[in-house]
A and B are shown apart, each in its own frame.
Chain A
């Protein structure tokens, strides 16, 4: 189970010695004797999208939670820009520029877009009161960049569409200069048009040099967006492959039977695709 592919991304291309933005080394997490994540090593370069795929319970969310600060790792090492770091909670993660967009959109429905984007990091006036005007204005600028169709700055996010809500969640991450973005099933709850919107957004962020971990079970999403694909099965890493060097069927084979593209037979692939 070794890393077959060499990272070949826009920024990393032709520079194999470059330090990755994030390295998760030999990460282990167990829940009461069950190894949810068992010695997984993955990395991420600036301006790159690495998809993390696997069936239910493969351990991909648990793995990424160690980086997001939602759940600490029991073993292993996290390096950011080559430096070992300790991440115990979401606050720690943020100080290293790690922002997370959770599967269940972590938005307060009863509060407007600006309120959600600045939740926990509100802008204040000289007198310590909330500076709603400044927050609205910043939100407007942010949305102009991320999603120009976004207009409802002052309504509670409850009344927004799924795509717009996702924009708010992403805007929150982006505004605070995220260098590393974790997206846990960002399109799971969205319709086709909204999914397209979010995809555009991901490409936009990638072009700005942000590194993105994308957790998804949608193989189409993964192939459209990711540069590299890391596959997990039963808490272990099956392997990481370069998207351009594999087919969807080969990735499916990795997800389902845990075999790398070279090891898998034509019969096995046929069995899977039927």
Chain B
């Protein structure tokens, strides 16, 4: 994790030098934060899938499908089929609930095939990649659906009201700092109570201070420093970033503090041991896919909202970005290893490379070459270091 943070810092500083200070600007970093969210949200789910020795190739297509269905709810079904009109107060809620439920259902279907019927995940989700993309064209012959509900559009972070604004951002920052300090104190107390070796006091204080410093810097120097070109006021944290932060906290909690997460990691570490331990491994596997489906729906909402439209090629090749983010973030295909925050950072690193290269006017095919190389080098370094550590 420390290595990855350092890598991010190196990438950021290098791009800043190469672009004569254009990279580390409030505007660029704010955009970077918004652009990373969609992949990062899905990567948190992909970690659990890969940790439990599976893969999900369908996430890009599923995102496109769910985004399209949510757009159908807003632009066709509520206003036309049910004749309730546009821009109702409930439009965005209904669209989101339908998307999340459908995502869970599709995930349950794929997860059932993998967990219970034991069809390899690669095959099931490769099928899913074709199926969900193909089904988009069943609606309205795949024409672009636009514009979307304006409240729904805020989920994308664009426009005048897609962010928290000045004081609400500081409020979120205050809560974040309080949480960081509480967790450091609680973890220290727990270790004291059970007479486990303690980190030196200065290190704990340092970790807490650094965490709070990062939060304050992110808000003060980026989110609130970026003046919205539309309103002329400080923009604040974008809603999709708020969603990403909540997803990250929730998924980390699920992975580390809940029985489900423990089982996912145990299965990844040793499937036989999990089975002999009396764990219902089939259900655990299915649930990882259900979660993945729900997260696809969240990302689909963010992406369609950001575009203010649903298009048929939404999320194409996203599965590769999501898997790359998880893997760059330290998730191992051997199973049992990987962290949620690591995957989020992996997504940020990938997006940093892309937007840095855009600033340097590197063309898109060359960007792909670089990102591909980075992926291989990152995993290569990681496995070499792991071997060295043994």
Contacts and interface: CB of A to CB of B under 8 A. Distances in A.
Nearest to A157: B269
A137 B257 contact: no
Interface residues of A, number: 30
Contacts, number: 76
A110 B268 contact: yes
B373 interface: no
B265 A106 contact: no
A122 B278 CA distance: 11
Interface in B244-265: 253, 256-259, 262, 265
Contact of A130 (B257, B277, B336): B257
A47 B274 CA distance: 30
Contact of B337 (A110, A130, A132): A110
Q: Which of B262, B279, B337 has the most CB of A within 10 A?
A: B262
Given A106-B270, A133-B194, A154-B196, A120 B279 contact: yes
13 contacts: A90-B276, A106-B272, A107-B273, A108-B269, A108-B274, A109-B269, A110-B266, A119-B262, A119-B273, A122-B259, A129-B258, A133-B190, A154-B196
Given A107-B270, A111-B269, A119-B273, 15 more contacts: A90-B276, A90-B278, A109-B269, A110-B266, A115-B266, A116-B273, A119-B274, A120-B279, A122-B259, A124-B259, A128-B258, A130-B257, A130-B262, A133-B193, A154-B196
Contacts of A102: 276
Interface in B270-290: 270, 272-274, 276-279
A91 B278 contact: yes
A94 interface: yes
A130 B278 contact: no
Given A120-B279, A130-B259, A140 B266 contact: no
Which label, helix, strand, loop or mixed, suits the secondary structure of the B interface? Answer: helix
Chain B's interface size range is 20 to 34
B278 A94 contact: yes
A134 B337 CA distance: 24
B110 to A, nearest CB: 25
Nearest to A122: B259
Contacts of A122: 259, 262
Interface in B196-230: 196
Interface string B93-109: 00000000000000000
B137 to A, nearest CB: 43
Interface in B109-143: none
Given A94-B278, A133-B193, A133-B194, A110 B269 contact: yes
